[in-house]
Amino acid sequence: MSTAGPVETQFGDGHRNSAATCGNSVPVTELLVLALGNTLLRDDGVGVAILHALEREAAQWGGEVEFVDGGTQGLALLGVLTGRRAAVILDAVALGAPPGTVHVLSAGDAGRLRSRRSTTAHEGNAGELLAAARLLGDLPERTIIVGIEPEEVRTGVGLSDAVARSVPEAAGCARRVLEGRWTYVPGHTE
């Protein structure tokens, strides 16, 4: 697994204000797990696959974490980030590493993800979403991106073998972040 940038992850730090509210008085959990990607473009849908792996264990967080499949909604997801203390973003992360490589990045590293430009507000990647949230003052104070290097981003259903094999490792990284057990060491490879 590759890592980049200083990451402070203490999501399990005992902070107990478990729900904020939006203007419409709907409770918002402080911790968000947000999957991005298009499941009809093969490995681009890996964020959703990681989300599903984590959702199977959702009971252990007792409603403290909200799991959201953001799909291809892009900038329309800005409101989902509002009012959160922490967020874990799950996405395909193309940094030029071998397919299946698990990446854990800080929000500060999100700019590296802007290689593919959106043509509408309903597309995009974690980099563009987090840059817009930062601009609007809605970026959660602790934001981590967990992703897998894609092999195939083309029309088709299902993940490539290399990416599918890495889903449990990526889910494990996201789980450790949520539990506050992630220890970041610059240049650390797990």
pLDDT, residue 74, reads 79
Given CATH 1.10.287.3510, say whether it is the number of domain 2-6+37-178.
no
Long-range contact pairs involving 22-27 (C-beta distance under 8 Å, separation at least 24): 22/79, 22/82, 22/83
Query: Three-class SS of residue 128?
Result: helix
In the predicted structure, residue 127 carries a pLDDT above the cut 90: no
Q: Which of 41-45, 99-103, 128-132 has the lowest mean pLDDT?
A: 128-132
Mean pLDDT of 109-115: 60
pLDDT, residue 128, reads 83
Q: What is the pTM of this model?
A: 0.77
Complete DSSP assignment for 65-119: EEEEE-TT-GGGGHHHHTT-SEEEEEEE--SSSPTT-EEEEEGGGGGGGTTSPPS
In the predicted structure, residue 59 carries a pLDDT above the cut 70: yes
List the strands of the sheet with 102-106, edge to edge: 2-4, 102-106, 142-148, 86-92, 31-35, 65-69
pLDDT, residue 83, reads 83
Helix (H) or strand (E) holding 54: helix 46-55
pLDDT, residue 146, reads 93
Query: Three-class SS of residue 10?
Result: coil
In the predicted structure, residue 186 carries a pLDDT above the cut 80: no
Cβ(153)–Cβ(41) below 8 Å: yes
Domain assignments of the chain as residue spans, ordered by start: 2-6+37-178
Give dist(CA 13, CA 79) in Å, integer.
25
pLDDT, residue 111, reads 63
Give dist(CA 184, CA 5) in Å, integer.
9
Q: Give residue-wise pLDDT tens across range 5-18.
A: 333 333 443 333 33
In the predicted structure, residue 21 carries a pLDDT above the cut 70: no
Confidence of residue 77 (pLDDT cuts 50, 70, 90): confident
Instruction: Count CA within 13 A, CB hemisphere, residue 89.
Output: 32
In the predicted structure, residue 70 carries a pLDDT above the cut 50: yes
Complete DSSP assignment for 16-47: ---EEE-TT--EEESEEEEE---TTBGGGGHH
Task: Report the mean per-residue pLDDT for the chain.
Answer: 76
In the predicted structure, residue 114 carries a pLDDT above the cut 70: no
* Residue 29, both tokens: 């959990």
Cβ(51)–Cβ(33) below 8 Å: yes
Give dist(CA 94, CA 86) in Å, integer.
23
Q: Which residue has the tokens 């430009």?
A: 117
